[in-house]
Structure 1
Amino acid sequence: MISTIDSRAAAEPAAAPDARITAYVFERIFGHGPGRVRHVPGTLTLLNSGPAHTGRANAGRALTVAIPWGAIVALGAGPLDLYSMNHHADRHTEGVPPGWAVPALAALHAHGVYAAQMVVNRELPVETGLPNGAETFCAVSQALQDLHGLPALREADGDRPAYMTALHAQRGKALIVNGIGPVEHVPCDLVAAGLRFLIIEAGVRGSVPAARCHRLLVDTAAAALRARDLNSFGTLLDRGHVRGQRALDLALDSAREAGALGGLVVGRCAVALVPVTAVHRVRKSVKASLAGLARRPPRFLTAVPAGR
């Protein structure tokens, strides 16, 4: 789930290409290689029965999966100097931090560290509504633990499901995250089932309210996964979708008509559960349905549950 390389490993073929690039940018900016480069996955919170605040017993119950695209952080010793690969004009050294730097600073402070050089690389655009800071917090926290040998003093504030998924995701598994306590892994082997999550980014502007569902739906979906009944799981994702954003509703309707088993909105994206054999047909159908409605053609990613 979480990879570690040092500045020498950044040049080795076995290191992830994006991690090598992030280490290279660090060296170009700061004049020396990073002490650590860490990557953590992103999160799709598919079903959530309540508020996502960290560490509260009444924070509900969520079903999540990790996706490969999260955050990469290159970290080294030095005065406080943070650089974003996603916002090239942004560089934070003092004063009020820009939004992308807030989770990185929170992780530093959780370790009692107030000076570091850092390059932050978020692998998905913020416009998708999928990055939420938990990935950055976890990547910084893991790099600091490598360098200083001290655990984080607390979890990230805010989205506990995303935070716990970034830390504990396993390949081919979904996670059940409660308000407090450990996570539970349930099988979600889409590769064996010949399925994929198709993430549809339709260019929606503004925020899309996060949907909340009854805890019973979360538990029923988890039971379907334990039984490896992915057809029922797709139907349960449909039940978790709250209509109201026209482009995303239309994208999901078109996906279902073209063969998707079900889907719902996550962030500002539609996420459909699609047989591999139907992915091309679904993409074509969604593009046709959104022609003339969205400000640009939709973009697509296919994913299976990621992790260690």
Structure 2
Amino acid sequence: MTAPQLVPAWTDEEGAARARSLFTRAFGVEPAGVWAAPGRVNLIGEHTDYNDGLCLPVALPHRTFVAVRPTDGPRAPARTLRAVSAQEDDGPPREVDLVTVGPQGGTGTVPGWPAYVAGVAWALEQEQLATEPVPGFDIAVDSCVPFGAGLSSSAALECSVAVALDELLDLGLAGPPADPDDEGRARLAAACVRAENEVAGAPTGGMDQAASLRARDGHALLLDCRDFSIEHVPLDLAAAGLELLVIDTRAEHRLVDGQYARRRQVCEEAAALLGAASLREVADAHVHGELELDAVLARLATDEQRRRVRHVVTEIGRVRFVAQRLRQAPVLGGWALSVVGQALNDSHESLREDYEVSSRELDLAVAAARDAGAYGARMTGGGFGGSAIALVDADAVDATASAVARAFAEADLRAPSFLVATAAGPAGRVGPPRSETGRAR
């Protein structure tokens, strides 16, 4: 069969042109500028973020682009957000009164995807990053981050809006992508998390926003979710003749039945039983030889608790292990490549058996990639659908993708899609500097 086509990442020029064109068609004027933020894929460290653990995401070259212009003048509605997206059918702009925006479920609920945009404006005020009310603005969105694939398309949207408003409102937090202000970007990331949690009503632990705003080109981001400190860990797969193939199973996340919330609850209950503030404390004590994992598990009340805790503790250990191997050998090869691949495999088995967040499609993608020669493969993201990753030789990308596609066809499943993840840089402006017409008034 013909090798499946990989989902391409747009160049900054292409993405900016798309967003700018959509903006002018929708609003009849030029935007103040275009900003972009990457999606992310998590190399390892799943369901560790809300347990104060460690994770190792990589910013994707696939980005969400937003063209933005503050509204002003006598004809502009006061503090109104008008938003259009290339990812939905043509129609009039969505309108949101920024004065009334509030948490999901209350009187200020914002329906649909504009909640991720309006939520950032709201959170900047709530976090007192914007000392004056955020003015009304028009925004046009276009994106090559696959939607619903577990690659953080929502965080890419939030973070692109955050860096746009940061510049337009002269907040001075982000700095340019080439010389980012990490402290300021950490504050913007926290605002984006609050926007997603409260206004969009979606659970997130902060990994996605940190990766989108704080990543560095050519590096994975070692994120400590206890204090949100970071370390940039070199990741140069191309130099080793390797690629990270992302397999979008196109099976949508199945979190509507509360499975994500249930796992978080069980972890919190288990930590309380163990006298710990979070399972990170247990993982640290285990790695330092202060606790035996089997003895810890024996203190828990149910098999469900034991399996969830075993995954979290061992997954945090796998993050530490992979980060250390990359520090020692950023150009993976030989033994280091073998053990990193095995860590990916072990992570998937733990997520499938102990955390029970895999799916038929994810298991099939992982198995087919391994059978095709991948050094390691695992589901990535929250699970119950979404994407898997496979560490493969660069010249085996097409063959691996074909093998996975063939396995899906034989199982009578919807055809997956594929992209290649390279460690990209963070959110920021794309295109020329703003003009005075772009300045918020």
TM-score (norm 1): 0.86
Task: Extract unaligned runs of 5+ from structure 2.
Answer: 1-10, 72-79, 97-107, 125-129, 174-186, 194-203, 261-307, 330-335, 353-357, 427-441
Residues 27-66 of structure 1: per-residue CA shift (max 9 Å, x gap): 111111111210111111232365535xxxx522111111
More strand by share: 1
More helix by share: 2
Determine the structure 2 residue equivalent to 1:101. Answer: 114
Identify the range of structure 1 (106-115 vs 234-243) with the bigger mean alpha-carbon deviation: 106-115
Kindly state the Cα deviation for residue 85 of structure 1 after the two structures are TM-superposed.
Answer: 1.6
**Which residue, out of 149, 161, 170, partners 1:149?**
170
Q: Is the 8 A contact 1:217 1:236 kept in 2?
A: yes
- 1:1-308 paired onto structure 2 within 5 Å: 16-48=13-45, 50=47, 52=49, 59-78=52-71, 79-88=80-89, 91-94=93-96, 96-109=109-122, 110=124, 111=130, 112-150=133-171, 151=173, 154-157=190-193, 158-179=204-225, 180-207=227-254, 213-214=312-313, 215-228=316-329, 229-241=336-348, 242-243=351-352, 244-267=358-381, 268-307=386-425
Task: Extract unaligned runs of 5+ from structure 1.
Answer: 1-13
Asked which structure has the greater CA Rg, the reply is 2
Kindly state the Cα deviation for residue 126 of structure 1 after the two structures are TM-superposed.
Answer: 1.9
Kindly state the Cα deviation for residue 67 of structure 1 after the two structures are TM-superposed.
Answer: 0.7
Kindly state the Cα deviation for residue 103 of structure 1 after the two structures are TM-superposed.
Answer: 2.1
Q: Which amino acid aligns with 2:220?
A: A
Determine the structure 2 residue equivalent to 1:8. Answer: none
Distance of aligned partners of 1:59 and 1:19 in 2 relative to their CA distance in 1, 3 Å threshold: same
Which is bigger in relative contact order (C-alpha 8 A, separation at least 6)?
2
Counterpart Cα distance in 1 of 2:397 and 2:113: 33
Counterpart Cα distance in 2 of 1:159 and 1:19: 30
Counterpart Cα distance in 2 of 1:167 and 1:205: 25
Q: Is the 8 A contact 1:50 1:59 kept in 2?
A: no
Residues 70-119 of structure 1: per-residue CA shift (max 9 Å, x gap): 31111101242011221235742137433322221122221341511111
Work out the number of aligned pairs and report it. 291
Kindly state the Cα deviation for residue 128 of structure 1 after the two structures are TM-superposed.
Answer: 1.4
Q: Which amino acid aligns with 1:93?
A: E
Kindly state the Cα deviation for residue 123 of structure 1 after the two structures are TM-superposed.
Answer: 2.0
Tell me how large the CA RMSD over aligned residues is. 2.4
Identical aligned residues as a percent: 31
Counterpart Cα distance in 2 of 1:51 and 1:236: 15
TM-score (norm 2): 0.61
Q: Is the 8 A contact 1:65 1:165 kept in 2?
A: yes
Q: Which amino acid aligns with 2:214?
A: H
Residues 191-240 of structure 1: per-residue CA shift (max 9 Å, x gap): 11111111112232442777964311110111111122233212111111
Q: Which amino acid aligns with 1:257?
A: D
Q: Secondary structure at the match of 2:191?
A: coil
